Amino acid sequence: MTGSPPAAQAPGLTALPPRTVEFRGARGGQAALTWGQQGIWRSTQWLDDGDPYFNLAWTLPVTGAADLDAVLRAVGRLVERHETLRTAYVREGAGEGTVQRVWREGRITVGVYEAAAKPMTAAKALAAELAATGFDYAAELPVRCAVVCLRGRPRALALALSHLALDGWSLNMVAAEWPRLVAGEDLPVPEWQPLDQAAFERSDPPPGAQALRHWRNGLASAPRSMFDFPEREPEEPRFVRYGMDSPAAAVAAEALAARHGVTTSSVLTVASAALLAAVTGHSTAALQLIVSNRHHLRTGAMAGPAAQDGLCVIDLGSGDLRNGDPGRGDLGAGTFAEALGPGHRRTLATYRNGHYDPSLVLAARDAEAWHRGADIDLDAFFNDVRQGGRWSGLPDVDPGDAGALAALRGRTRTFFVGAYSKVKAKIFFATGPAPSTCEFFVLVDTAFLPGRVAERMLGGLEELLVRAVSADVPLDRIAEVAGLDPVRRPAGWTRIGPDWVSLPETEALLRRVCGTGPAAVVVEPGDDGAARLTGYLVARPGLDTPDAVHAAVMRAAAGRTGVLAPRHYVLCPAPPAGPSGWPDRPRLTEGGGRVPSSAITALGR
C-alpha cells in the first residue's frame, strides 16, 4: 500500500525532493471493525465525501542531532509498529459491512521542506494543510507526513492522521515513542493491536453485557430528546463553536470536587447537564460522554480508536420522572451542590459501561423508540480530553478568598473557534488539554439554539462554578445565574413524563395517518395514574388494530421533534358528534399497539 504524497507547501517553506520510506510490518490481515472503529466510521459516513472533519493535524519535534535518514527510519518504524497506521477500511460486497484491512508492507511518501525560521510554527501550518483534504479510506494510508528542516537539520515532523487511525490517547502514546524511535532505540513490539481487539470483541461469550444493561436503563429514563421543541431558522454556517480560557472556573471546579468528594470531570459534566436542562426546559438531562475505554492493560497499550459514546442520564428534577411525575416541568428545588454526588455516580457508571456492541445498543434504541413513541435523539455530548481528567498546573489561589477568585476571573477570555456546515451533534461540550486553566468549548446546532447561546453558556459555566463555591445555587435558578434564556414552546405543548410534545401537531399527524379522517389526541390518566396520550380514531381497513395504527404513526413521526405517538389507541366504529365526545363512543378495540418486535424480543424486552 502506498501513502499519499503531501499537499502543497505552507508559506515560508521551500520544498525539497520528497523521500519514499518502505515499511514491512510483522503481519497483515483482515477483520471486522472494532467497536471503537465503528463509531468513527459511522460518523465519517454521515459527512460528505472528502470532508476532512475527522482529520487530525499534529506535529512532533525532532531534537538533538538526528539527520534526515534517522528521522525517515523512525517514520518507517512507527508505521511498522502500529498496524492502525497501515490499515485501509474497505466495504465488502453490496452490504453495509466494512472491514479493516492491515497491509503488511508498502511505502509512504514523506515530504521534505526547509524552513526560513521557526520550524515548529511552519510544521504546524504544514500539518494543517496536510489535514485539509479527506482521506480515501479504502486506498490511502491513514497518515500523511513531512519533515521540516532548519539549515538542513530536521526539526519537526508534520502529520495529518485520520481519526480512524489514532485517538487522543494514541497520540500521547506515539508522542512518547517518537524521540526514542528517532534515537534508534529498539522498542518492544506492541502486544495488542486492533486486529486482536476485533477478535476479542467477537469472542464467545462477547463482552459488554453489563454495558448493554446500563444503556437500556438509561434509555428508559432519559428524555427522548433534549431538543423537543420547534426548530428555528438556522444560521449560516449552521454549527458554531465557541471556547473559553478560565483559570477561575478550574480553581472553582477543583474546590467543589474536593468539598463533595467527586472528580472535576463530574463537576463539569453535571454543570453542562444543568445548563442544557435549564435552557431546554427539562428536569432530566441526557448526555453522551466520550468514553476512552483504556482502563484495561491491553487497550491501554493499543494504538487505534477505542472510545465509544456512553449514555449519562442525570436527574435534576423535583419529581420522579421514571414514574411519570415531572414535578413542575422545570429544574427541581435542590441545589447544584446537591446534584454533584448523584451526578458523579452516574458519570462513573457511564465511564465503566462504555464498551459494548454498537449494533445491540442501536437495537436497544430502536426498541425504546417503539415503546416511547418517538425517535430517540441523543445528539448532546460531553468530552473531557484532559490527561487523566485533571489539571496539573493551576494557579495557587484560595477559592475561599472571594477577592482573589474575582481577580482571577479578570484573566478569563472567550473566543470564536469556528463554524461548520455539518456536524453530528446538536450540542457538544468539551474540555481542552491545557493544564493550567479550564479550557472549555461549546458547539451548538443553530437550528435549535442560537449561536450566541454557545458563548453565553461558557460565561454561565464559569459563573455557576464560582458562585457555587461560596453559596448554594438552586437548580431552578440556573438559567438566571448563567444569563441564559430558556426555550419558549408555543401554546399546545405539554409534558408527558420526561418528554415535551405538541398536542396539535400530534393530533394532526394522527389525522394524516387516518387519511384526514376524524381523530383526536387527549391527555388522560393511564392505568398507573400517570398522564398519557390517548389517540381516538375510526377503524378502517389497514388501520383496524392498535398494532397497525402504532406502526403507521411511528413511520409518519420519524424525525419529528414535536410529536409523540399516543401511548394508548382507541378504535371506534364511528366518530362522535363533537370533538369532546370521543371517550364516550363505543369501542371496537383498544391497546398500546406495542407488540414486541423481533428486535425487542432478541433483547429480552
Would you place residue 483 in the very low, low, confident or very high pLDDT band (cuts 50, 70, 90)?
very high
Structure confidence at residue 301 (pLDDT)? 93
Provide mean pLDDT across the span 42-70: 91
How far from each other are the two terminal CA atoms of the chain, in whole angstroms? 46
What lies within 8 Å, CB to CB, of 149 at 6+ separation is 16, 68, 112, 113, 114, 115, 119, 155
Provide mean pLDDT across the span 446-466: 97
Helix spans in 471-545 (H): 478-482, 503-513
Average pLDDT value over all residues in the chain: 92
Cell numbers given for 128: 494543517
Position 319 pLDDT exceeds 50:
no
CA Rg value for the chain: 27
Provide mean pLDDT across the span 495-501: 94
**Cis before 237? omega within 30:** yes
Provide mean pLDDT across the span 321-327: 33
Structure confidence at residue 96 (pLDDT)? 57
Position 605 pLDDT exceeds 70:
no
Cell numbers given for 411: 484573566
Structure confidence at residue 322 (pLDDT)? 30
SS3 per residue for 148-206: EEECCEEEEEEEEEECCCCCHHHHHHHHHHHHHHHCCCCCCCCCCCHHHHHHHHCCCCC
Q: Which of 331-335, 372-376, 546-550 has the lowest mean pLDDT?
A: 331-335
Would you place residue 5 in the very low, low, confident or very high pLDDT band (cuts 50, 70, 90)?
low
Position 196 pLDDT exceeds 50:
yes
Would you place residue 587 in the very low, low, confident or very high pLDDT band (cuts 50, 70, 90)?
very high
| Predicted confidence (pLDDT) per residue in 403-437, tens digit | 999 999 999 999 999 999 989 999 999 999 999 99
Residue of 171 and 50 predicted with greater confidence: 171
**Top mean-pLDDT range of 93-107, 408-422, 585-599:** 408-422
What is the amino acid identity at position 88?
A
**Cis before 18? omega within 30:** no
Give 3-state DSSP helix, strand, coil % of the chain, rounded to 5.
35, 25, 40
Side-chain half-sphere CA neighbours of 474 within 13 A: 8
pLDDT above 90 covers what percent of the chain?
A: 84
Structure confidence at residue 579 (pLDDT)? 85
- Spatial separation of the C-alpha atoms in residues 354 and 581, rounded to whole Å: 50
Q: Which of 28-32, 60-64, 518-522, 576-580 has the lowest mean pLDDT?
A: 576-580
- Spatial separation of the C-alpha atoms in residues 380 and 448, rounded to whole Å: 12
Q: CB 198: neighbour CB atoms within 10 A?
A: 20
Structure confidence at residue 6 (pLDDT)? 60
- Spatial separation of the C-alpha atoms in residues 476 and 483, rounded to whole Å: 13
Provide mean pLDDT across the span 270-283: 97
Would you place residue 296 in the very low, low, confident or very high pLDDT band (cuts 50, 70, 90)?
confident
pTM, 2 dp: 0.91
Angle at which helix 358-372 crosses helix 35-46, to 10 degrees, equals 60
Cell numbers given for 132: 485539509
Helix spans in 471-502 (H): 478-482
Would you place residue 599 in the very low, low, confident or very high pLDDT band (cuts 50, 70, 90)?
very low
Provide mean pLDDT across the span 282-295: 95
Provide mean pLDDT across the span 1-10: 65
Count of residues in the chain: 605
| Predicted confidence (pLDDT) per residue in 345-370, tens digit | 999 999 999 999 999 999 999 999 99
Position 598 pLDDT exceeds 50:
no
Structure confidence at residue 183 (pLDDT)? 96
Angle at 265 between CA 261 and CA 269, to 5 degrees: 105
Position 327 pLDDT exceeds 60:
no
Provide mean pLDDT across the span 312-335: 59
Provide mean pLDDT across the span 235-243: 97
- Spatial separation of the C-alpha atoms in residues 179 and 75, rounded to whole Å: 11
Provide mean pLDDT across the span 371-391: 94
Position 255 pLDDT exceeds 60:
yes
Structure confidence at residue 600 (pLDDT)? 42
**Top mean-pLDDT range of 321-330, 498-507, 595-604:** 498-507
Structure confidence at residue 527 (pLDDT)? 84
Structure confidence at residue 324 (pLDDT)? 32
